[in-house]
Amino acid sequence: MGKNQHVVPHAGGWAVRGAGNERATSVHPTQSEAIGAARDIARNQHSELLIHGRNGQIRERDSFGGDPFPPRG
- Domain assignment present for residue 16? The answer is yes
Element (H, E) at 60: strand 58-63
- pLDDT one-digit tens code per residue, 26-60: 999 999 999 999 999 999 999 999 999 999 999 99
Instruction: Identify the domain containing residue 10 by its residue range.
Output: 5-60
- Domain assignment present for residue 12? The answer is yes
In 10 A of CB 16, how many CB atoms? Answer: 26
- Domain assignment present for residue 15? The answer is yes
- Domain assignment present for residue 55? The answer is yes
- Domain assignment present for residue 22? The answer is yes
Residue 14 pLDDT greater than 90, yes or no: yes
Number of domains observed in the structure of the chain? 1
**Residue 48 C-beta-side C-alpha neighbours within 13 Å:** 14
* pLDDT, mean over the chain: 91
- Domain assignment present for residue 71? The answer is no
pTM as predicted? 0.85
Burial letters for 1-10: b for 16+ Cβ neighbours within 10 Å, e otherwise? ebbbbbbbee
Residue 67 pLDDT greater than 80, yes or no: no
- Domain assignment present for residue 65? The answer is no
